[in-house]
Structure 1
């Protein structure tokens, strides 16, 4: 039973399906489908030098790694590797081999500081620390039982505010890009991001196969979006919030809560059975919104950091 690590072949159906299957088993709180795997490979910005890897044992994909530079950060030399192994195939060498291959590749393309997410469990902590990674920020995954839970009543839409969907911006999504670019600047985390490339955003985000434009909801003032929640769905009853944010000039009015509540109510009517979201543990305002909506913490992950050289 030899474990081999190789690049993902996105055009081979078994590879894309195997990658998505491993991620769903190891990290069920983030939506992955074969189509989303292929999309990410095809449309990640070239400057990211994206290289997805798989670990294969006896012809079966048992582990995955997303490996890339972080070109959206103003700080040069940042790299990321997110490694996940099927829960029933751990301790067989897949994780170790994937990390080694990922680190070697990132060093080759100029990374000097590496970031890796891992679930906050003792085995993962020991694995990361043995390889020289230090513990960084933490974040929660939260789950909402949409089928059997109770959503709070819809908040009233304030005067002067109009709710619209992403589908309403199909002819010109640039206002949503501009809002996304503003709100990401204030998203808590250990890496700063800046969105400046509209064409890259269109390819990566606007045309993402999981983006549900009917459920993605924006609060608009004088026709321009000032708060939004971005909804992903996988066609299997699962919903995930990809981003929720409010423009700085409109914060404190409950608009994030408004957009997310309306999106979830429509999601339930559309047949969604469970919803996931994530929060940096220092993001108290969004944690409060999600608790009000009925989300419960289902897992915690840690951002591990390692300096190269």
Structure 2
């Protein structure tokens, strides 16, 4: 079987100007982040004289190969069983917002295919990892969180951000045993560990942290710093914002949508926090990179 061509459209990545921190010094630098956008999957099904159209799911993805993603999703979720069940996939031409037209696809199913509506409803809204349940439109994704984060801090020293990964790892009892778990850890602005949870899914780990804080009546978490293992996705930024967390640091890279969301929410977002280095993607004013020097907003 021939190897399919590798095609990465321009929307697969974004170039950003970031604050690159090494030790106690910072400087402006350019960085490339993977794009993340919601893809709404709509279905057309039923006989020609009684055709129905409805949204099946929204998945967060890096743009590119959207038709393949849709076809694979339909097959693995049991909506279709063979290529014959699928008559076509295309971007929806009737999407009102021009900038979202390549974020909505319609898959047309064969007229003879028996589609169970209750089964379809169970698939409403998924994501590349765990999902943000209950959203059935792209507008709902963007409007899912409208937090009010503090505008007077907290202020965090650069060396505190540098120290977080080691402190998180030292507290990961299950990771030391399995080597295969994500973690979300909540710290004070001074770097004291407040709460840590582990899970095979990074979204689950963060949900556990937020749930524990909720049950202890700590919310909103305005005076905290969150460190997550792996990358920083839109869903993680959204969850942190809902809980009132003003500073989110990630061991891995943020996606473009995560950066845009964090910027809109007024959050400080740091990525690649490891080996005494990290990038500040937005909200640099909360990070003290030199003694007595706070970057401007």
Higher RCO (CA < 8 A, seq sep 6+): 1
Query: Is TM-score (shorter-chain normalized) higher than 0.5?
Result: no
Task: State the TM-score, normalized to the length of structure 1.
Answer: 0.29
Q: Which has the larger radius of gyration?
A: 2
Scaled by the length of structure 2, the TM-score of the pair is 0.30
